[in-house]
Structure 1
Amino acid sequence: MPAKRDRQESASPLGRILQNTAWLLGGKGFGAICGLAYLAILTRTLGLKDFGHFSLIFGTAQALTSLAGFQTWRVVVRYGTEHLHNKDWDKFGRLGMLCGMLDAVGATIGCVLAAIMIYGFAHILELNPGYVDVAFWFCCGSLWALVSAPTGIVRALNRFDMAVYVEAIVPSGRLVAALVIWATGPSVGRFLAAWAAIDILEAILYWIMARRLCPQAVRVSNFSKWRMALEENPGVTRFFLITYAGSTIDAAMKNGPLLVVGGWVGTRAAGLYRLASQLSQALSKLSTLLTRSVYAEVARVRVASKAAEFRKLALQTSLIAGLAGVVVVLIAIFAGEQLLAMIGGEAFESGAGILVPLAIAASFDLASVAFEPVLHATGRARLSLVARLIAVVALGFGLWQFIPIGPSGAAWAVALAGAVSYVAMGVMAWRTLEKVEAGQIAVGIDDEPLG
């Protein structure tokens, strides 16, 4: 039974990217409105101190899910696109179930890491002892709510429209839960329990949707055929390890500064940093959406188009994303303080000094949205890992130099790392495109062994 593809698609790669991004933006626009609403409830009902505790627990869970979450959706898209192009549903299914099994292994390992981190190092973050058990169970719930493999299946099938409906469960569910908790008695534990339950519900629905879209592929029997999947996708293990290392580094860059602020400056400062970070992420949501669309389309162009079209697509998406990044920075500069005060109240107004550098960092993420997909699609994923390692060194240097300033110092360290990552990965991506167009690199050939 073939996968369901009953949606009219644009004829051009850029058109499909914009079409998919529009679907995602519609869902995320709704999600952003809900997110700002429940964030306002959180900050105003918990106050700066308890919101700081919530932020540290949530940030720890995000760090763990990024560390134990293997980003298997990239594997499904990178290798599954060719199986879909050839209409080989069995191979696609075995690959998807292999990635689902890896997700489960990652969640199990993550729970062990959560026990070590929460029960062994909570005192470093000045976490209230009454929240330790809650923090552990929240981390476990978040780990098992990972939906990377079914997400990859849906993206490889180019059904971003269907993903919008499932992903709307989280922001709408959190808003409803926040309103109920606000009315019945707000507490850090109740908010965390609600967040975890909603995330798990989304994971279940994602698997159901993947099954409905591609029943031939999403079958329990394929879980036992993981060895066959490894044989059918040469280089998949190396690609998986490289992308996992890259996502781990990315997690350190995104969540590390918050934990450093909590441990070095204090819980209140962590709450202030968290709100500014959330707002900057909301302003730069286009970066995440474009990444999802671009990654899937670049993988598709890799197997179905010529090198010139491949290069043109990268140039077009980079230009669009770069202009969006400029808009993000301007909003943060001219309206950041008002937005923070509107969401969190007067206690959070001072977060404007944190928001601007975080927005600058987000603008670099936006501008570089096509770089990593290009490197992955051309079998040079190791170069994106090298660029991330360089950025981590820059982040460490920035934190060492700027953290005495306070939370804003951590934000400027993030901005420095973003700039370094943009330059490093950008140079590698454009050199790769030049070699592709010159015929020196065959699109889709896997990396040579590391070492």
Structure 2
Amino acid sequence: MPKHPTAAKRIIHNVSFLTLGRIATAICSFAYIAFAVRALGLAQFGLLILIHSLGIMASTFSRMQSWQTLIRYGNEPYAQRDLPLLGQIIGFCIRLDLLSALAAMSIGIVSVTFYSHIAHWDGWVTTLAYIYALICPFMYTGWSNGVLRLTERFHLVPVSDTVTAIFRTAGTAIGFLFHLKLGFFVLVWAGAVLIDYGLFLYFALSTLRQKIGLKLHWREVLGQWRWQLPGMWSFTRSTSINQTLGAVSGHISTLVVGSLLGSAEAAVFRICRQIADGIVTPAQMLSPVLYPELVKMRDRHDWRGLKRLTWKIFGILCAVSIALLLVAAFFGGRIFSLMLHIHLHGTTYYISIMLVSAVLTLLVVPLEPLLTVMGQIGFLMANRTWITMAYFPVLFVLTAHFSLAGACYATAISSFVMFVTRLWRAMISSLRPHPDPKPVAASPDTSKEAAVEA
């Protein structure tokens, strides 16, 4: 008998925890954005947004989705308490994150060098951007996040979100009260990144010790660079390309708008996008919760329950999307003015378009995990690649001709194409499922073969 009702209850329970953290972050964001804009002015705040976008873009570009690899290959060893194999899988994911960190810093420094020249930044702003680029390695909590999701310790995530949001709010309040400049606010943003990284690292290590009874030996972690299970690297590569292209496009679009229209317009575009994303945030929390549940159902070969759960969630999100669009139509501009204490013509229109884009992205949330566990990784990667490659030229042309409205149009068009193509593929895959084989525990012979392949 399918066990998707139990899975549904766990999903709702875990989504509730994640949503609490995002609600706290959203409330604090109203405060710290208002403090920052009033202290710096819209143009200087735009520079802060651009500096942050460069850093997060570099981090996102370099990310290998180690948390998905950990859940994909670690679920069965965790369920069977095969601690040696689980430790090797976690070690593999830690090494992925170390490579990501090195790449992030390199990409960040190169990005600042090029963009500061294109945007004609002065020496001080460029120096701040270089300093912020040094924080790029700490912007990704891949393996530690994967440990919390694998062990269902979702209640620890809102703790980190809340502490980080409170720190950023307190820092910007101090900057506003004492009339501090851009450099101070860059340091506050950097400090928030370090706090978030430190908390996730602490939570992951304590969970491994207390709940699993697994102690990582760092010499073993750093000394087995050639170890992997069959198919592990190809899975990581495909999921990373798909997720990276999706996440990085938002930051690059902000940089494109800033280079074409200026830092103030980039700030408006980013805030409109942030408001739209914030409205759909509770529903977006389904993604990190749904994937582990689908992996468990796949390992039980409960394909019927897996599909029923996915399409049930998809139907609920369709109903929620209608309500969200009504919220944006009536309250979008008011939310913008409350956040920035600035009234700008057209913000309701911009937010409405961006919310359409966010809603379409939201409807993809249950489709991607379904396609992933059904072995459609190659399609996800190819689909994301060609849509992203088409997005940036369209963004450039429409922004140059229609200003901020054009940037919003391009974003909505990209999300629409993504939604239609993935919905079609999910329907086809549901009619003719192709089960992804379960990961096989590495025997000595298998480990040697994997080492040779590496």
The two structures have a TM-score, normalised by structure 2, of: 0.90
Q: Pick closer, same or farther for the CA change 1:226–1:65 going to 2, 3 Å.
A: same
How much does 1:274 deviate?
1.5
Range that drifts further, 410-419 or 132-141: 132-141
Aligned 8 A contact 2:108 2:136 in 1: no
Q: Distance in 2 between matches of 1:397 and 1:148?
A: 31
Q: Distance in 2 between matches of 1:412 and 1:143?
A: 33
Q: Distance in 2 between matches of 1:393 and 1:426?
A: 20
Query: In the alignment, what sits opposite 1:370?
Result: 366
How much does 1:229 deviate?
4.6
Query: In the alignment, what sits opposite 1:411?
Result: 408
- Residue 380 of structure 1 aligns with an amino acid whose one-letter code is Q
Q: Distance in 2 between matches of 1:395 and 1:123?
A: 24
- Residue 414 of structure 2 aligns with an amino acid whose one-letter code is A
Query: In the alignment, what sits opposite 2:174?
Result: 180
Aligned 8 A contact 2:38 2:176 in 1: no
After TM superposition, the structure 1 = structure 2 runs for residues 368-447 of structure 1, keeping only pairs within 5 Å, are: 368-403=364-399, 404-436=401-433, 441-444=434-437
What percent of counterpart residues are identical? Answer: 20
Query: In the alignment, what sits opposite 1:262?
Result: 258
- Residue 276 of structure 1 aligns with an amino acid whose one-letter code is C
How much does 1:12 deviate?
0.9
Q: Pick closer, same or farther for the CA change 1:227–1:56 going to 2, 3 Å.
A: closer
Which digits, 9 at most, give the CA deviation of each residue in 1:214-241, with x for residues without a partner?
22445134413545750xx321100111
Q: Pick closer, same or farther for the CA change 1:421–1:89 going to 2, 3 Å.
A: same
Match of 1:110 among 104, 107, 111: 104
Q: Distance in 2 between matches of 1:127 and 1:327?
A: 42
- Residue 442 of structure 1 aligns with an amino acid whose one-letter code is P
Q: Distance in 2 between matches of 1:435 and 1:202?
A: 42
Are residue 148 (structure 1) and residue 148 (structure 2) matched?
A: no
Match of 2:306 among 310, 334, 340: 310
How much does 1:53 deviate?
0.6
Aligned-CA RMSD value: 2.1
Aligned 8 A contact 1:141 1:196 in 2: yes
Query: In the alignment, what sits opposite 1:43?
Result: 37
- Residue 101 of structure 2 aligns with an amino acid whose one-letter code is A
Query: In the alignment, what sits opposite 2:158?
Result: 164
Aligned 8 A contact 2:238 2:377 in 1: yes
Match of 2:91 among 87, 97, 102: 97
Match of 1:205 among 199, 203, 219: 199
How much does 1:286 deviate?
2.4
Query: In the alignment, what sits opposite 2:233?
Result: 237
Q: Distance in 1 between matches of 2:180 and 2:345?
A: 23
Which digits, 9 at most, give the CA deviation of each residue in 1:227-265, with x for residues without a partner?
5750xx321100111112112311342112111111111
Which digits, 9 at most, give the CA deviation of each residue in 1:97-117, with x for residues without a partner?
221222122111221222212
Match of 1:276 among 251, 255, 272: 272
Aligned 8 A contact 2:105 2:136 in 1: no
Q: Distance in 1 between matches of 2:225 and 2:107?
A: 27
Range that drifts further, 277-286 or 389-398: 389-398
Q: Distance in 2 between matches of 1:142 and 1:227?
A: 23
Q: SS where residue 159 of structure 1 aligns?
A: coil
Q: Distance in 1 between matches of 2:371 and 2:438?
A: 11
Q: Distance in 2 between matches of 1:68 and 1:109?
A: 6
Which digits, 9 at most, give the CA deviation of each residue in 1:360-409, with x for residues without a partner?
11001111111111121122211111221242144235324421101221
Q: Pick closer, same or farther for the CA change 1:218–1:70 going to 2, 3 Å.
A: farther
Q: SS where residue 104 of structure 1 aligns?
A: helix
Q: SS where residue 168 of structure 1 aligns?
A: helix
How much does 1:56 deviate?
0.8
Aligned 8 A contact 2:32 2:169 in 1: yes
Q: Distance in 2 between matches of 1:189 and 1:349?
A: 30
Q: Distance in 2 between matches of 1:143 and 1:327?
A: 38
Range that drifts further, 39-48 or 362-371: 39-48
How much does 1:203 deviate?
1.2
- Residue 272 of structure 1 aligns with an amino acid whose one-letter code is V
Q: SS where residue 12 of structure 1 aligns?
A: helix
Q: Pick closer, same or farther for the CA change 1:218–1:275 going to 2, 3 Å.
A: farther
How much does 1:422 deviate?
0.6
Match of 2:73 among 39, 57, 79: 79
Are residue 332 (structure 1) and residue 328 (structure 2) matched?
A: yes
- Residue 248 of structure 1 aligns with an amino acid whose one-letter code is T
How much does 1:292 deviate?
1.0
Gaps of 5+ in 1: 1-9, 447-451
How much does 1:349 deviate?
5.0
Which digits, 9 at most, give the CA deviation of each residue in 1:52-83, with x for residues without a partner?
11111111111111001222111112211122
How much does 1:85 deviate?
2.2
Q: Distance in 2 between matches of 1:385 and 1:243?
A: 7
Q: Distance in 2 between matches of 1:444 and 1:360?
A: 37
Which digits, 9 at most, give the CA deviation of each residue in 1:81-100, with x for residues without a partner?
12212221222222122212
Q: Distance in 2 between matches of 1:280 and 1:443?
A: 35
Figure out how many residues of one structure are paired with residues of the other and give that number: 432
Q: Distance in 2 between matches of 1:12 and 1:305?
A: 16
Which digits, 9 at most, give the CA deviation of each residue in 1:15-43, with x for residues without a partner?
11111101111121112111221111122
Q: Pick closer, same or farther for the CA change 1:301–1:348 going to 2, 3 Å.
A: farther
Aligned 8 A contact 1:377 1:444 in 2: no
Aligned 8 A contact 2:24 2:161 in 1: no
Q: Distance in 1 between matches of 2:135 and 2:377?
A: 31
Match of 1:293 among 289, 308, 323: 289
Q: Distance in 1 between matches of 2:142 and 2:383?
A: 23
Are residue 12 (structure 1) and residue 45 (structure 2) matched?
A: no
Q: Pick closer, same or farther for the CA change 1:128–1:15 going to 2, 3 Å.
A: farther
Q: Pick closer, same or farther for the CA change 1:258–1:108 going to 2, 3 Å.
A: same
Range that drifts further, 412-421 or 208-217: 208-217
Query: In the alignment, what sits opposite 1:3?
Result: none
- Residue 407 of structure 2 aligns with an amino acid whose one-letter code is A
Gaps of 5+ in 2: 440-454
Query: In the alignment, what sits opposite 1:6?
Result: none
Query: In the alignment, what sits opposite 1:351?
Result: 347
Q: Distance in 1 between matches of 2:344 and 2:49?
A: 14
Q: SS where residue 285 of structure 2 aligns?
A: helix
